[in-house]
Amino acid sequence: MEIIFDDRQEFKKLEEGIMDNIESVIKECLDYEGYSDDYEVSLSFVTNNEIKKLNNNFRGIDKVTDVLSFPMMTEDDFDIEYEEESLGDIVISIERASEQADEYGHSLEREICFLVCHSMFHLLGYDHMEEDEAKDMHAREEAVLGKLSITRDK
């Protein structure tokens, strides 16, 4: 597995071990779905201003969001054997993630791990537009984060 990482924000210097936890989250999401880790994921940390522009350009929503997911594969693509295929791009606003961590009373690292997990399930084809889809996706997120002991306390 390869994570292509691009930190384009200066809002907050992140702790050293966060990439290890992010990699564990990505691997666990793939494992949870029964996939190998022969995939590439692009992960960018950006400012509120940048994510707002991306949100407007790609979704037509002119406001800040916490995370955007840009899947590169369709459901059928997962049935084909690739050497290492790109799952897609995850873009996280560290400013917004920090605000949410404060709101929820847990660490920024936990919030980032949750957002990576949430986005990974989008890259794997899940959505939360309908209530039943949201419940299914939330259960998957909780299972992955729980297995890694990434709780709201952290």
Binding residues: 118, 122, 128
Measured from the Cβ of residue 131, the count of other Cβ atoms closer than 10 Å reads 8
Q: Treating both helix axes as pointing N-terminal to C-terminal, what angle do 94-104 and 108-123 enclose, rounded to 10 degrees?
A: 120
Return the bridge partners of 46, or none: 93
Backbone angles phi, psi at 7, to 5 degrees: -100, 100
**13 residue type, one letter:** K
**Binding positions for Zn(2+):** 118, 122, 128
CB 48 within 8 A of CB 95: yes
CB 118 within 8 A of CB 77: no
H-type alpha helices, 11-128: 18-32, 48-59, 94-104, 108-123
